[in-house]
Structure 1
Amino acid sequence: MEGIKGAFQIMRPLNGLGAAIGVLIGAVASGFLFTIEKNLFNVLICFLAAFLTASAGHALNDWKDVEIDKINCPERAIPSGRISRNTALILTIALFVVGDAIIFLTKNIQAILILLIGSVFIAAYSLKFKKLGFIGNITIGMLTSFCLLLGGAALDKIEFSLWAALLAFVMNIGREITKGVDDYVGDKEEGVKTLAVLFGRKKGSYLAVLFLIATIILSPLPYLFQLYNEIYLFIALGGVDSIMIISIILILKNPDSSENAHFVKRILKLGMFIGLFAFLLGFPGLLLPDSNPFRNITFPW
């Protein structure tokens, strides 16, 4: 019983469920509610595959960090002895293998490639990239966006989830850099090469601002490219961009403050959730008729 409990603890099923829900959001934002009967099987397979591979990543992370956890978190499953390190490694491999195998049931090359590439980056992050600061930030942004892309790929509608994934990627990098400013002292002691550690908290904060500005610039494009309706535009501009602007102002007022960065990091997470709702509710025909005036315009690009 202790072994089973330990296995669940290193898998962190709630975090894995978060990744799986990201797939579902990507699917709904790509029109899944209009094609449930046709695409239900593929969406369920992608949902389960994302859960398994994310859980594998969490287990691998605990396997890799066992020596650090013996000091900092001795109550965790491996250092406490509830599960052995060898068993944790076997569980990690099994989760990766099953997750990567079942995705082939979709017979969808986009979904297969997204999950397999994602699995490689999950493993790379736990084994190496986590300590490399900005590379780790980019990896987290990619993995977040991959969940959304996988949902769109399950429907062969990746062009819809692509915008959600791009905005999530850019905003997440800004948030991760801000998180590095917040964690500056601990990261410096642990030798984590965040931008804040390499260049100082102030420059790290300014770099985070660039990604938040990029999020604002990108936010109306899904509407202008005729993919989402006025509900998306209203939530994106009124909700997401407002939070981006508030975050930018707070950062610029006090770029050296870890406490300020901690607060900004939290409200940026709220901005991410609002952004997901924008894509969910703004799909054409879901709550409003397909009324985007740009839908009849051919753009030169």
Structure 2
Amino acid sequence: MKYLKLIRFQNLLMLALMQLLFRYGFLNFQNITLALTDWQYLLLVLATVMIAAGGYVINNIMDQATDNYNKPKKVVVGKSISEASAYNIYFFVTVLGVGIGFYLSNVIAKPGFASIFIIISATLYLYATSLKQMLLIGNFVVAFLLAFSVIIIGVFDLLPVINPENKIEMAELFSILMDYAVFAFVINFIREIVKDMEDISGDHKQGMNTLPVILGLKRTSKIVFVLSLIPLIMITYYIKNYFLPNDLHLATLYSLTCIVSPLIYFTIKIDHAKKKKDYHQLSTILKLIILFGCFSIAVVTYNILHHHHA
């Protein structure tokens, strides 16, 4: 149990689910040959998850002081797992993730792509040790890495099999993946700031340069409010320009119920949030929005297929 806590098991599960949804709820239904076989794709998911796990472990090692203050019940390193074991786990999962990355890069005959895994691991290490202290840089890195776990699907599954015949179709699929990546980035970036609002007292004590520590909760709320309008505008644009003209009623209904409504709720609530538990609740809502956002790819695909058959 304590090891699952150390690697933030639920977050990793969500990451894996997200990558599986894009392949088995979307890409598999397109009329194209994909670069990776099923088990190679599972290896890609495993590599992503292992590298992310490494990121969580090193983060937990470096965060002992702040976490002891902010969330004493959740601290694992130094309590139920020694720092030495935590480092061993960190090296093991990171090396495994990078190793699988090397293997897959050779499978698709693009050995240079292995560097992606090395760069991501290095970035996660830098994040835990130094970037996190810098204003908004840390938030940006975490949000970008989640978005990148969507982009990497295109890099390994689509890029290697692009040819003159399927170029247009591939570009379209890539742009859909990019839209999802941007959405995941924006929501996660907002969520990172909300988590900083939740942790303001401990971060303040540790001298962290987070937005809430520097600007205070009131001003940060205003910034978050403005930021949360971006995904709302994005989805509304999507519904208006893609779903409605193509009679995708199910996709429209799903987006309005599961993504737009919670987002509006969040936007209204952020202004009134005062307590630690308010921010915690809001951060959870954003996590659910990311999850529902990923599921929407399967809903849209299903809707399109059934619409064609109807």
TM-score by length of 2: 0.75
Which whole-Å CA distance do the structure 2 matches of 1:103 and 1:222 have between them?
Answer: 34
**Equivalent runs, 1:1-301 vs 2, <5 Å:** 10-28=6-24, 30-32=26-28, 39-65=37-63, 78-80=77-79, 82-83=81-82, 85=84, 87-107=85-105, 108=108, 109=110, 112=114, 114-156=116-158, 157-221=173-237, 224=241, 230=248, 231-252=250-271, 254=272, 258-283=276-301, 287-289=305-307
How many pairs are equivalent?
Answer: 284
Q: Which residue of 2 aligns with 1:296?
A: none
Q: Output one character per residue of 1:39-78: Cα deviation in whole Å (capped at 9) or x when no partner.
A: 3133112111012112222222233345667888599665
Q: Output one character per residue of 1:201-244: Cα deviation in whole Å (capped at 9) or x when no partner.
A: 11111111122101011124556369x98243432234312222
Deviation at 1:101, TM superposition (A): 2.1
Give the secondary structure class of the aligned counterpart of 2:19.
helix
Q: Which moved more, 1:240-249 or 1:62-71?
A: 62-71
Counterpart amino acid of 2:120? Answer: G
Counterpart amino acid of 1:120? Answer: A
Give the secondary structure class of the aligned counterpart of 1:219.
helix
| Preserved contact between residue 66 and residue 78 of structure 1 (Cα < 8 Å) | yes
Give the secondary structure class of the aligned counterpart of 2:209.
coil
Give the secondary structure class of the aligned counterpart of 2:219.
helix
Q: CA RMSD in A?
A: 3.5
Which whole-Å CA distance do the structure 1 matches of 2:278 and 2:64 have between them?
Answer: 31
Which whole-Å CA distance do the structure 2 matches of 1:7 and 1:261 have between them?
Answer: 26
| Preserved contact between residue 22 and residue 151 of structure 1 (Cα < 8 Å) | no
Distance verdict in 2 for CA 1:286–1:239, change over 3 Å? same
Deviation at 1:92, TM superposition (A): 2.1
Distance verdict in 2 for CA 1:11–1:29, change over 3 Å? same
State the identity as a percent: 22
Whose relative contact order is higher, 1 or 2, with alpha carbons under 8 Å and at least 6 apart? 2
Distance verdict in 2 for CA 1:95–1:68, change over 3 Å? same
Which whole-Å CA distance do the structure 1 matches of 2:91 and 2:123 have between them?
Answer: 15
Give the secondary structure class of the aligned counterpart of 1:288.
helix
Deviation at 1:126, TM superposition (A): 1.6
Counterpart amino acid of 1:41? Answer: W
Q: Which moved more, 1:196-205 or 1:212-221?
A: 212-221
List alignment gaps of at least 5 residues for structure 1: 292-301
Counterpart amino acid of 1:62? Answer: N
Counterpart amino acid of 1:272? Answer: I
TM-score by length of 1: 0.77
| Preserved contact between residue 18 and residue 294 of structure 2 (Cα < 8 Å) | no
Which whole-Å CA distance do the structure 2 matches of 1:159 and 1:189 have between them?
Answer: 43
Give the secondary structure class of the aligned counterpart of 2:208.
coil
Deviation at 1:131, TM superposition (A): 3.1
List alignment gaps of at least 5 residues for structure 2: 159-172
